[in-house]
Structure 1
Amino acid sequence: MGDQHIVEHHHHAPDWSGPDSVRHPAVGRAPVVLRGRVEEMARLRAAVAPGAGNGVYVLHGMGGCGKTAVAHTLFRHAVDHAGRIGFWVNASDPSSLRAGMLAVAADRGASDAELTGARSGLRPAADLVWHHLDASDRPWLLVLDNADTPAVLRDGGWLRTSPTGTAVVTTRQAAAHWWPGAELLRFGVLPRADAALVLQDLAPHAGSTEEAAEVADRLGCLPLALTLAGGFLAHQIIDPWNLTEYRQGLDGAAGHHPVELIDRGAETGADSRHLLSRTWQLSLDALTAQGLPEATALLRLLACWAGDPLPLGLLAGAGLGTALHPSRVESALRGLLDHSLAELVPGQVRCLRVHGIVLDSVARATPAEQREHLVTTAAGLLGALLPEVPERGAQPPAVLLLAPHVTALLRRAVTWGVAPEIVGEVVDRVVRLVVAVHRSGDFAAALALAREALDIAGRVLPADTVPLIRLRTRVGRALFRVGRFEESAAVHQEVLDDCERVLGPDAPETLEACWRLGSPLYNLDRVADAVLLNRRVAREREAALGPTHPLTLIIRKSLLEMAGHPDAGTPRERDELLAEGPAVIADCRTAWGNDHPLTVGGELSYACALALAGRPDEALHHARRALSGYERLLPPGHPLLLNTRSTLSAALYALGRREEAIEQGEILVEGRRRVLGPEHPWTVHAEGLLRKYRAG
């Protein structure tokens, strides 16, 4: 028997893990129509026009802002209309980049031997790729998508220029030092009209253009969020939603969380870049890998506030224990800026801005055990920037920028379910800001801010707790200043009733409520009731604090202002009140000086009383002193300045100085129309006075 020869045949699949294609963009859901980006697309089309080459264009911006969609649109233009070969390479990690670039080399004629040498490390891979790109017989466009770790490109020499083609990079990395010689194009959110069109492109039957614009506003006009929302609306089968229902869901209707609702529009199996809840984590993971884990802690702190411009001064001294030392805030912030998770906003006040959708997503993923510490820290930082007792007049611009942030912090504290006492601390910051806005003269804004905060905090705090009593008082005061006297009186009466029941008749909050109720009552011609309340407060404060304490001087001044009214009491009682005028002014001057608002206010109160009492010559002297003082202290047009002109004009007219009275009356009417509006009772009153002066 002869020898047997057994031959085994082994069939091996090629050792190749490269992309299936580099000639087609590997994107998720391509846009139906690229909306907006007109100027950027014009620049990029010029970069792939015949004869163009040697260019590198870096499209940078936060995750979800549509960089890949722009690159995809350019790719299709280059291939379909500009006569170029298009190459699309995933540059999100070293292995994908290497495999994709070698596939480009193979497409441009690299031999199997060359490719094997490059894969085995016997030949520099990047040199091989660019050799064949340089030698290409056709112009090309190379897109390096998702290059969020620029070091991968730089260290391997993968990004170069070539006379035969144009390279485009999409990245979240905004730092210019990563892209020497490249032209940087920054991408942010879409204009409102274009954002609405994105929704209508995807879900044309879901609602009107204006409804689409309202949903776009709620989504912050972020392309990824718009695409996911449109995808959700377009693919509902059993019970299709319209745009209005979707907006209500984003606002929490039926228990929906906005981030979860938006992500429901993703395609099955979508990767992290195409999920709103996950895309930002890619950047945070990269920052941690770069030795900046503090960036995550800082972003969680920023998520306590709003997506509006945030004064950078707020971050002075920020710290979160071991998670974020104050000395590391600067580097953590730089990391967020470099990865396009935040941006600097130029202006009178240097500000930082993070997109609201990013903040909501980060807040949702923040561990429960960290939330109270974050809220407490955020409240403390706000407290450091807010004045304890704001002066009347113009407020620091940085303070007025805090309005959306105090309400956002309050909403976050309530949503996160932090302890009621911590919610109370946040309400204290709201009250301090409301006072600052009120004293700037913007009473309508103060009212809106106080009411919004009251609505949020009222979900977890009883109305008769001290923090909400103080907030309700501010609502009543703002209502009074905007001329809604009956509503103001009703609010103050409810506050007074709660204070007396919960805190007792002598508590500071109770006395404050007494005094504040007097103002609308006086303007509703319930003068006797107002005087009675003021007398009660004056008596209690003088006994507890002394006659020259600021709180005592304020109520003495308020009582003095009513002294000249015929309904303020008997003639003897009115005379006694009026006789207090010089003493009130002297005590203010002794305690606080000539130019203090209390002293100037005392002059005005005495002038009002003297004018009402029929003593215009004396009233004129004090009104002029008040006007001079307020002109030094307050900006033109401030309500207190206008009040002074009202008293001054009345005294001038009573003295027969009609032309001067008309001059002051005209300034008064113009100012009140502008500041308070034409329907405000004080505006109407000023117009009546002016008609009277002109009639002679």
Structure 2
Amino acid sequence: MVFPGYHRSWAAWIAYCLERQGHRTTLQRWDPPREASLEDSLGDLLLSSGRILLVLNDWFFELGPRPAGEWNDVLRGFVAAHAERFAAVNLTNRPLLPATAVLEPASLWGLSEEAAEERLLGRLALERRRVPKALPGRVRYPDNRCDIWGEVPRRNSRFTGRDDLLNDIHQRLADAEQGAAACTLLGMSGIGKTQLAAEYAHRFSTDYDLVWWVNSDDRNIQRDRLGELAVELGLPIGGEPGERIRAVRDALRRGEPYNNWLLVFDGWDDTEGVSALLPQGSGHVLVTSRNRAWSEHGEVVQVPTFLRSESTAYLMRRAPHITATEANEVAEEFGDVPLPLVQAASWLGESGMDVPEYLRMVREGSLSTVDEPASGEDFPQSSLTSWSILLNRLRGAQPQAIDVLSLCTSFAPGRIPLGLIRAYPRADLPEELRWMATDLPAWTRALDTLVNYSVLTRETRGPVGAEMGPHQESVHMHRLVHDIVSKLTSEDSRTRHRRAVRTLLAEADPGNPADSRTWPRYAELLPHLEPSGALASNQPRVQELLLNCLRYCVRSGEYNSGLDLVRKIREAWSQFMDPLAQPVLDLTTQQSNMLRASGRFRDAYDLDHAALDKLRAAPQPNVLGELVTRSAMAASLRHLGRYREAHDLQREVLAGNERLLGQDEPPTLVARHNLGVGLRLLGRYAEAYELDLETLARRESVLRARHITTLNSGNAVTHGLRLLGRYRDALVRQEPVVRLHVQVLGPQHPQTLEARAQLAMCRRREGSLSQEVGPSMATLLEQLEQLHGREHYRTLAFLTNYGNFLREHGDLSQARDLIDEAEAGYRSLLGPAHPVATGMLSNTGLVMQAAGERAEAMAMFEAALAGLSATLGTEHPWVLGCALNAASARNFNGRIPDAVELSRETLRRAQRTLGPQHPLTLSCQVALAADLRAAREQEEAGKLEEDGLLGLTRTLGAQHPHTISARQRTRPYWDFEAYLG
């Protein structure tokens, strides 16, 4: 069977059909060199035995290419003379060469699979077997697209050559070890990487049940697009991008519901964070990139320029009037680089200009020329001049196409949501551009012209398979084309068009960045802010768009992108805006939020402190601005471990909000919630719990139960119950809180993960079975790491809790690794004197003590006790816990009188601070009894132990692990829960 590489999928299906009927088939990809005689090339096919089936469409006769007359002569002569050896099928409804009739091709166009197979067998005069032969696997009928086909660019009907390269890519992916089948197409801009990847997806589509295309020029769009696959897979997830991506990667890894999948990441140049996005499993990944660092992540294929035969074949097909010699001269001029060749071929084909005249204009630069593009890549200077020629022609023949093209340069390169123009016709467009919103035929003609000249390619945006309206239309503009056209556009036009684009972007602002359903739109708008000049706009509506994009970055966890955008906005606004203007203050608030969320607490505090100084020095007071800034400072102080300062400042903020706004306004409710956080950090658990209950009730009344901040208050109330030792009550309350988080925010939203971490600790403290708690904690740690990274403070907190759990249940080796990692992480993040870094020493001591390193453990406990006593005071619950552990170490190291003294004092403080029935107080009582027994004071020891056991039974239950341990006279301990608020 003889076929052009373009029809590989049809050839595979035809071979499958014939072999099921018991006929041996050999596939022959055919593209004979133009220099060889066509009769000789066809004659070579006759050297094989059996019949020769030609897979035809109009493309088949353009191979080479060869003049139609040559084909007609050979068909009427040589092929007709050997008609019994040749047969053909036809895959198109377009007319073929007249002489093709000698082959009597059977048309498979538009047929069902069953009808196509029937016609194929009929043309070859083969009888259908009653029971077809069983073959391994199944080849999909090419007209039946795979189950999920996600925004793969339209197939380029003019795709030329690259057959060997495509087969090499296919073989590399097929031969790769399962779980690591990733191949990167590497090369400079304009070399044809995207076209190659798109052709691969189409040509080998029958190998896959799922093909998904991910535009990766921009990180936010990349994450959003990959997350959209979760919806197509029907995964039960929420709207947060990280959550969707994790669900997608897990489904692909498991091969559920599809084992055979292909993901294409187009334009992925930034390799930071690759491991969190790159899927693994039984499928294949194809990446296009300019970054050579991809060699560390799998197979790399260097995409070369066209072969000269490919260059000339492409040129002669697009411009049939030129000769092979002229095509060779043009290919030489442009260095066989595909992108400029495409533009040259489009120009020559559309204009009909003679090649000598075209090359003269290019070489002499007789039209306007431009400098090298900003990318600095090795791009032929001659191609830049050729763009001048094209644009000059369009200015005369189709000026509206120039309007569209110039407008595109005010967006970022890559995907451009041009449909915004028609979606928001009331936007303040310049007079010369208003036709775009009102004249659909002119709009369509302009786009068709640019597509025909290979300047733009059309894309769609929306549900797979859905029909798109003009307002949803997107186009793709290559970065080099964008760069070149920008240089050839007048400054006056750029200024007007940028103003129009940023107005359109502002109109497209969903206005609610807290709603995860709007996040895909914000991800789409984000790349175009800077090119449109939005960063330097003095329009309030555009400035609000910028702030909403930053709020989206905070909510969705895109902190790095957000902080980079903040830097650029601040630089622009500083040129024309007062530092104390409200937009600048709002900018500072969002920057502070992102700095804290990413663990840069000192930077956040310094930023807010500087803003507060400016506000206080201003001639006109801004009371609300000061309250917002001081609230942010209080949050930073809490994270920095300055708990008393944070509490005092937070009280002032709450009082100010109540006075200025009232008790039930959202900022006041936030201030009240944050005061509860500060009280917990100070160890004032009962006060925090009562305040959190009040905040929860107010939020349920004002904002309703499913609001994100109401859910957060529910989490805070549970935390308070657990810290008060009411473990069973905490567990009963937290289970519905987590269910509501999952329903509203999705299981992988950052706040949901915090709620699930709280639930895991409730189950652990309540005494649930370790086989229930352990696996859920391991899974949750993996999800936190994927969301935040291993060194983020929230991940470190759960590393700590999981390490303590493993130590408690006998996995001492892994526990030591996790606790050591968390301690080092906190020390690096917070400094060694921070209360949390100091408290971690107690966890390290517990691991050492369990390993029999008693002297080393005592040193850790004593250091933690001394450090926390100095910073938090002697009655803070964290200090009491450290004292409990230190007394234990003194006992184990033979310092019995010192142990008795410390245990007695710790019990008195615990009774005052936590009350006599708190589990920590009861543990201190049991510990004192153990020390008294070691000191041979049996009577007092017995009485304390009896009362302690009774209290534990009454508080926790007779079968709780703490009660059982006390009954067995196992020394109680306290593990430190790292908590930053």
Which TM class, normalised by the smaller chain length?
A: 0.5 to 0.7
Tell me which residue corresponds to 2:555.
439
Q: In the alignment, which residue of structure 2 is the partner of 1:547?
A: 663
Residues 493-548 of structure 1: CA distance to partner in whole angstroms, max 9, x if unpaired? 33443444459664544433322233332122122232233323322222222222
Change (3 A) 1:383 1:134: same
User: Offset at 1:463?
Assistant: 5.9
How far did 1:266 drift? Answer: 3.5
Rounded to whole Å, the distance in 1 between the matches of 2:332 and 2:506 is 36
Aligned with residue 50 of structure 1, among 38, 53, 56 = 38
For residues 730 and 621 of structure 2, what CA distance do their matches in structure 1 show?
36
Structure 2 counterpart of 1:378? 501
1:686: how far off?
Answer: 0.7
* Conserved? CA contact 1:561–1:608, under 8 Å: no
SS at match of 1:624: helix
Structure 1 counterpart of 2:788: 676
The secondary structure found in structure 1 opposite 2:410 is coil
CA distance in 1, matches of 2:701, 2:628: 24
Of residues 406, 411, 436, the one that matches 1:300 is 406
Equivalent position SS for 2:475: strand
Map 1:149-548 onto structure 2 (within 5 A): 184-186=157-159, 193-195=186-188, 213=290, 258=373, 266=381, 274-277=385-388, 279-288=390-399, 293=400, 295-311=401-417, 314-315=420-421, 316-318=423-425, 320-325=429-434, 326-328=437-439, 331-340=442-451, 341-346=455-460, 348=462, 351-391=474-514, 393=516, 395-410=518-533, 421-422=538-539, 426-451=542-567, 453-454=569-570, 465-501=581-617, 506-548=622-664
Change (3 A) 1:490 1:230: farther
Contact 2:605 2:637 in 1 (8 A): yes
1:426 Cα deviation after fit: 4.2
The corresponding residue for 1:588 is 699
- 1:343 and 1:473 map into 2 onto residues whose CA distance is 41
In 2, the alpha carbon distance for the partners of 1:226 and 1:454 equals 48
Q: How many residue pairs end up in the alignment?
A: 501
Report the AA paired with residue 663 of structure 2: P
When residues 323 and 522 of structure 1 are mapped into structure 2, their CA distance, relative to the original with a 3 A threshold, is: same
Q: Could you say if the C-alpha distance between residues 259 and 684 of structure 1 is closer, same or farther in structure 2, counting changes exceeding 3 Å?
A: closer
CA distance in 2, matches of 1:383, 1:627: 36
Aligned equivalents of 1:549 and 1:362: distance in 2? 51
Once the two structures are superposed, what CA deviation does each residue of 1:27-58 show, in whole Å capped at 9, x if it has no partner?
Answer: xxxxxxxxxx9979x87757886159999769
How far has the Cα of 1:642 moved from its partner?
Answer: 1.4
Distance 2:336 2:99 in 1: 41
Q: Percent identity?
A: 20
Structure 2 CA distance for aligned equivalents of residues 225 and 511 of structure 1: 67
Deviations 1:261-286 (A, max 9, x none): 8999635xx9xx73445534534543
Aligned letter for 1:400? A
Superposed displacement of residue 468, structure 1 = 4.2
State the secondary structure of the residue aligned to 2:501: helix
Q: 2:708 aligns with which of 597, 605, 622?
A: 597
Shift of 1:439: 1.6
Deviation readout 1:530-582 (Å, 9 max, x if unpaired): 22333233222222222222222222222223322226xxx6xx755542322
Contact 1:504 1:510 in 2 (8 A): no
Pairwise CA RMSD: 5.0
Q: Is the 8 A contact 1:603 1:626 kept in 2?
A: yes
- Give the C-alpha shift of residue 195 in structure 1: 3.5
1:633 alignment partner AA? V
What whole-Å deviation, never above 9, does each CA across 1:77-126 have from its counterpart, x for those lacking one?
77xxxxx7x8xxxxxxxxxxxxxxxxxxxxxxxxxxxxxxxxxxxxxxxx
Alignment of 1:657-672 (within 5 A): 657=768, 659=770, 661-662=773-774, 664-672=776-784
Shift of the 43–669 alpha-carbon distance from structure 1 to 2, 3 Å rule, reads same
Equivalents in 2 of 1:596, 1:559: separation in Å? 20
3-state SS, counterpart of residue 421 of structure 1:
coil
Which residue does the alignment assign to 2:758?
647
The one-letter code sitting in structure 1 at the alignment partner of 2:722 is A
Higher relative contact order, structure no. (Cα contacts within 8 Å, ≥ 6 residues apart): 1
Maintained 8 Å contact 1:342/1:353: yes
SS of 1:407's equivalent in the other structure is coil
The answer as to whether partners of 1:620 and 1:651 remain within 8 angstroms in 2 is: yes
Using the alignment, how far apart are the partners of 1:221 and 1:309 within structure 2? 25
In the alignment, the residues of structure 2 paired with residue 576 and residue 522 of structure 1 have an alpha-carbon distance, to the nearest angstrom, of 17
CA distance in 1, matches of 2:190, 2:500: 40
Deviation for aligned residue 1:464:
5.5
Matched, 1:561 2:677: yes
State the 1:196 CA deviation. Answer: 7.4
Q: Secondary structure at the match of 2:528?
A: helix
Q: Offset of 1:323 from its aligned partner?
A: 1.6
- CA distance in structure 2 between the aligned counterparts of 1:633 and 1:225, rounded to whole angstroms: 58
CA contact (8 A) 1:562 1:609 kept: no
Shift of 1:666: 3.0
Map 1:603-622 to 2 at 5 A. 603-622=714-733
Distance verdict in 2 for CA 1:594–1:475, change over 3 Å: same
> Alignment partner of 1:531: what SS?
helix
Distance 1:331 1:49, change over 3 A: farther
Alpha-carbon offset, residue 257 of structure 1: 7.7
Match of 1:688 in 2: 800
* TM-score, with structure 2 as normaliser: 0.43
Secondary structure at the counterpart of residue 353 of structure 1: strand
Report the more deviating stretch, 539-548 or 635-644.
Answer: 539-548
Q: Which moved more, 1:681-690 or 1:464-473?
A: 464-473
SS state of the match for residue 555, structure 1? Answer: helix
Q: How far apart in 2 are the matches of 1:284 and 1:58?
A: 36
Question: Aligned partner of 1:306: which letter?
Answer: A
- 1:128-148 superposed Cα distances (whole Å, 9 cap, x missing partner): xx9999999x99xxxxxxxxx
CA separation of 1:375/1:134 partners in 2, compared to 1, >3 Å: closer, same or farther?
Answer: same
Q: 1:198: Cα distance to partner?
A: 7.1
Indicate if the aligned counterparts of 2:394 and 2:402 stay in contact, CA closer than 8 A: no
Offset from partner CA, 1:168-218 (integer Å, 9 cap, x none): xxxxxxxxxxxxxxx94158999963537979xxxxxxxxxx9x9569x9x
* Distance change in 2, residues 1:225/1:664 (3 Å): farther
Show structure 2 runs of 5+ residues with no match. Answer: 8-28, 43-53, 78-94, 101-155, 166-183, 193-270, 272-288, 295-302, 307-329, 338-369, 464-471, 809-981
Shift of 1:677: 1.1
Structure 1 CA distance for aligned equivalents of residues 693 and 510 of structure 2 = 31
- Distance verdict in 2 for CA 1:259–1:589, change over 3 Å: closer
Q: Give the Cα–Cα distance (whole angstroms) in 2 for the partners of residues 457 and 45 of structure 1.
A: 62
- Which amino acid counterpart does residue 756 of structure 2 have in structure 1? R
- The answer to whether the Cα contact below 8 Å between 1:308 and 1:354 also exists between their aligned partners in 2 is yes
The 1-side partners of 2:695 and 2:705 are apart by 13
Q: What are the Cα deviations for residues 596-638 of structure 1, in whole angstroms up to 9, with x where unaligned?
A: 2222122122333443454444544443343122111112221
Change (3 A) 1:55 1:583: closer
